[in-house]
Amino acid sequence: MSLFKKLFGSKQKDDTSGTGADQRGKFMPEIKLPTDEKFTINFKKNGGKFLYCDSLDEIYECFNNILQENNWSSQTVCCLDPQLPQIFKNYTFSKHSNCHHANILLSRCENLVADNGAILISSNQIKESKLNDLPDNFIIFATTSQLVDTIGEGLRGIKAKNKNQIPTNITTIKHFSIKEEKDFLTYGSSSKNLYLLLLEDL
């Protein structure tokens, strides 16, 4: 994806041509941003931490860095997703069947939603656990092919992929900074300190 490579790949000179949105008049039609760029802007605006990776080796390196930065151990990582231990096979995760004793949840997701920078998850990843019952710290492993424009597009994709049995517990996480006192805009939602490990697969 060109945007991710521009942001996280080789360093390039800043574009000073003045063609950005800030140079446009207020009555000009809104520029339709590419899905990847829109997601990046909205995800960061929501307080998410974003790590773009070209390979699984980079994913492991970033995962190790997250653990070290926060003084976390892989043994305090909870993983309810049955597919992830195969990907992170060199790590030992918490043996508990639920996440009550864990500091971090490592999970995949259904989709990354560009319109609001949210993470769409379901029972495929978190079983029937409620977000409030899960740890405050999330590390989400996703791929660039999971980017969608809207929640509706993501829900249609879930239905198409799971024709025999549509997953339950479908929800979104879109507030990624823990606040002791939530304002009225985040009331009733579950805020998570969230890292996104995004693997390029397109």
DSSP string covering 64-133, please? HHHHHHTT--GGGEE---TTHHHHTTTS-----SSSTT-SEEEE--SEEETTTTEEEE-HHHHTT--GGG
User: Alpha-carbon distance 27 to 21, whole Å?
Assistant: 12
User: Alpha-carbon distance 22 to 41, whole Å?
Assistant: 15
Structural domain boundaries in the chain: 32-179+187-199
* Collapsed DSSP state (helix, strand, coil) of residue 9: coil
| pLDDT (0 to 100) of residue 184 | 46
User: Alpha-carbon distance 38 to 35, whole Å?
Assistant: 5
Is the confidence at residue 55, as pLDDT, over 50? yes
| pLDDT (0 to 100) of residue 104 | 94
Edge-to-edge, what's the strand order for the sheet holding 49-53? 49-53, 193-199, 137-143, 104-107, 77-78
Amino acid at 130: K
Burial class (CB in 10 A: 0-12, 13-18, 19+), 147: buried
Reading the block at residue 191, the tokens are: 């805020």
| pLDDT (0 to 100) of residue 59 | 97
| pLDDT (0 to 100) of residue 189 | 56
Mean pLDDT of 127-149: 94
Please provide the average confidence, as pLDDT, over all residues in the chain: 84
Q: 129 vs 95, which has greater pLDDT?
A: 129
Is the confidence at residue 14, as pLDDT, over 50? no
| pLDDT (0 to 100) of residue 57 | 96
Q: 102 vs 147, which has greater pLDDT?
A: 147
Mean pLDDT of 30-49: 91
Give residue 3's pLDDT band: very low, low, confident or very high (50, 70, 90). low
CATH number of 32-179+187-199: 3.40.50.10420
Q: 101 vs 77, which has greater pLDDT?
A: 77
Give residue 13's pLDDT band: very low, low, confident or very high (50, 70, 90). very low
Mean pLDDT of 162-174: 91
Give residue 68's pLDDT band: very low, low, confident or very high (50, 70, 90). very high
Is the confidence at residue 47, as pLDDT, over 80? yes
Give residue 191's pLDDT band: very low, low, confident or very high (50, 70, 90). confident
